[in-house]
Chain A
Amino acid sequence: MNSVTRPGAEAVASKGWLAANKWLLLRRMTQFGVLLLFLSGPWLGVWIIKGNIASSLTLDVLPLSDPFVLMQSLFAGHWPETSVLIGAAIILVFYFLVGGRVYCGWICPVNVITDAAAWLRLRLGIKTGARIPRQSRYWILGMTFVIAALTGGLVWELVNPVTMLYRGLIFGMGMVWWLVLALFLFDLLVSPRGWCSHLCPMGAFYSLLALYTPVRVSAVSREQCNDCMDCYAICPEPQVIPPALKGADKGVGPRITGINCTNCARCIDVCSKDVFKFTIRYDKRTDSYKKLDQSEVMP
């Protein structure tokens, strides 16, 4: 079936290539744009953001810090200076508003690697691979905190590919390229969407911020759905789609409420029927859901 190997082909035919890749392009521009703000200092001597995504200082005034890394530090038993606390609070509020795992889809550099692996998997029609429970990431999240408390150190940061890749791009890669290759091959051959959608504790952490996130994708025109399955094929977290898309009979949806939705909006791109749209949760004009589906709130 064509749509399995090339999801979005129909959308490209009906909407044009640009419209069928709009959100993907915006996402890549955001990912690389933010990275360039970090890199303009070391590369050009124009210091916009100093540091890396673990903690940074924008234009010498605005501190931003990763709350997941900070949480490890807190579990390790260190009470930090206010600067990093303020930075983490700003990030928490931001992702609470725009959707927790927007971090994954719009900022995280590993997303580019695993998206590439997923794309190649589809193209090559690779069907095999280990199935890891999606809940594993929450176990790993707990483990990172337990191990920080046990050792008094930020142990996950010794292996965290997200912060390591970002730091590497700005401060020097060392052996991080091998890690990148390993992640790519892991997602390509070992486990489909294995890292980002099953194992990464950072994504799991940010997903918890999405419980009441206002900005969500909604299957507003779900009656238009022609069951082409493109959205399922492209979605990194396809389990979040059915309640929103097919929940009309149960009075569920149309808003996607699964906390692991990354708001990547690829479903909007690849849908030739324009079923999906970004909505604001508490805006009655765009968000016409009947009843909150609690069963889908937890992953």
Chain B
Amino acid sequence: MTEPSNKARISRRYFLTRLASSACGVALLGTGLLIYSRQASSLPAMALRPPGALPEADFLGACVRCGLCVRDCPYDTLKLARLGEDVATGTPYFTARHIPCEMCEDIPCVVACPTGALEKSLTDIDDSRMGLAVLVDQETCLNFLGLRCDVCFRVCPLINKAITLEPRHNPRTGKHTLFIPVVHSDACTGCGKCEKACVLPEAAIKVFPQRMAKGQAAEHYRLGWEEKQKAGGSLVSPDKEHQYTLPEGYRYDYEGQGLIKEEINKGTPFADNPLDTLSRPQQERGQ
């Protein structure tokens, strides 16, 4: 083997230096990008993905930002994030309070998606989970105040399934019922119509991404009464009847109304003569 000429050695050094400088420059750029991507890919809570969207991390690897879903949305619900917005640039999203999803039966946005970032397996819009409605503010919600607003309940496309009105005692008046809107995660699609329709200047019910709206019970956690029902009987034997220490004249209904005052007088509490009733001491009149 011959010694490499001086010229060859210099060019090799030149070559390696150039190689290293390119590699390091690009590595620096890549590191910056990596850090930027971490921030840029965090989705703000108010931005909801179209129906059928893959979980956010997968979605960001699948969506090519073409906007075909946006074009085929008949209600202009979907938008592509512009550069400078909080959502990863070019990805589709909607804001419930602005224009909610109208839940088209043919789901045109999913049909339009060329990549599968919106899953084709979603064929029934009721199965979509764009987010989950949460009645975030119980202090301002009119129904919580005892009024019959009910607007969120009424506009819900899955009325009485995704949102139900649960009667509760109104302790303020003592004689009225609160009709509390309750969202059920097994039915709510996160379309956002409730948030859009909320009559307050700032919605008391809001749609959040599932990850933010939903708690999760511990893996090992079991609900005794459900387990009992599944097993068809008590899992602890013998199933001992709980003994309550109750005042006389009271009994406890275990799976129903709770504490019950035994009716001593099986007849009507009202006497034939209303004046008799009125002249009874107050504690006896109370139920």
> Using a CB–CB distance below 8 Å, which chain A residues touch chain B?
41, 47, 50-52, 54-57, 63, 65-66, 69-70, 73, 76-81, 83-84, 87, 133, 135-136, 139-140, 142-143, 146-148, 150-159, 163-164, 167-168, 170-176, 179
**Which of A87, A159, A171 is most buried by chain B, counting CB atoms within 10 A of its CB?**
A171
Residues of A within 8 A of B115 (CB): 55, 73, 78, 80-81, 83-84
Known: A78-B61, A81-B116, A156-B33. A139 touches B66 (CB 8 A): no
> Distance (Å) between the CB of B83 and the closest chain A CB?
4
Q: Is B236 an interface position by the 8 A CB rule?
A: no
Known: A158-B36, A179-B83. A66 touches B64 (CB 8 A): yes
Q: Give which listed residue, A52, A142, A147, A156, contacts B67 with CB less than 8 A.
A: A52
Known: A80-B62, A158-B88. A135 touches B34 (CB 8 A): no
Known: A139-B22, A139-B23. A168 touches B82 (CB 8 A): yes
Residues of B within 8 A of A133 (CB): 18, 21-22
Given A87-B114, A167-B90, output 9 extra A-B contacts at Cβ < 8 Å. Answer: A51-B66, A55-B115, A57-B68, A79-B116, A139-B22, A140-B26, A153-B57, A167-B67, A175-B82
Q: Is B85 an interface position by the 8 A CB rule?
A: yes
| CB 8 Å contact bits of B29-69 with A (1 = contact, 0 = none) | 11001101100110000000000000001101111111110
Residues of A within 8 A of B269 (CB): none
Known: A51-B67, A135-B22, A136-B25. A155 touches B33 (CB 8 A): yes
Q: Is B232 an interface position by the 8 A CB rule?
A: no
Beta-carbon contact of A164 and B22 below 8 Å: no
Complex Cα–Cα for A290 and B19 (A): 33
The A-contacting residues of B in range 121-173, CB under 8 angstroms, are: none
Residues of B within 8 A of A164 (CB): 83, 89-90
Residues of B within 8 A of A84 (CB): 64, 114-115
Complex Cα–Cα for A77 and B84 (A): 27
Beta-carbon contact of A139 and B26 below 8 Å: yes
> Distance (Å) between the CB of A38 and the closest chain B CB?
10
Total B residues in contact with A, Cβ cutoff 8 Å: 44
Q: Which residue of B lies closest to A153 (CB)?
A: B60
Q: Is B113 an interface position by the 8 A CB rule?
A: yes
Known: A153-B60, A154-B60, A167-B65. A174 touches B33 (CB 8 A): no
| CB 8 Å contact bits of B61-81 with A (1 = contact, 0 = none) | 111111110111000000010
**Which of A148, A153, A167 is most buried by chain B, counting CB atoms within 10 A of its CB?**
A153
Beta-carbon contact of B33 and A154 below 8 Å: no
Beta-carbon contact of B80 and A152 below 8 Å: no
Residues of B within 8 A of A154 (CB): 60-61, 63-65
Q: Which residue of A lies closest to B81 (CB)?
A: A174
Known: A73-B62, A139-B23, A157-B90. A146 touches B114 (CB 8 A): no
Complex Cα–Cα for A159 and B39 (A): 13
> Distance (Å) between the CB of A293 and the closest chain B CB?
20
Beta-carbon contact of B114 and A80 below 8 Å: yes
Beta-carbon contact of B68 and A56 below 8 Å: yes
Beta-carbon contact of A159 and B61 below 8 Å: no
Beta-carbon contact of A151 and B34 below 8 Å: yes
Complex Cα–Cα for A77 and B62 (A): 8
Complex Cα–Cα for A76 and B58 (A): 9
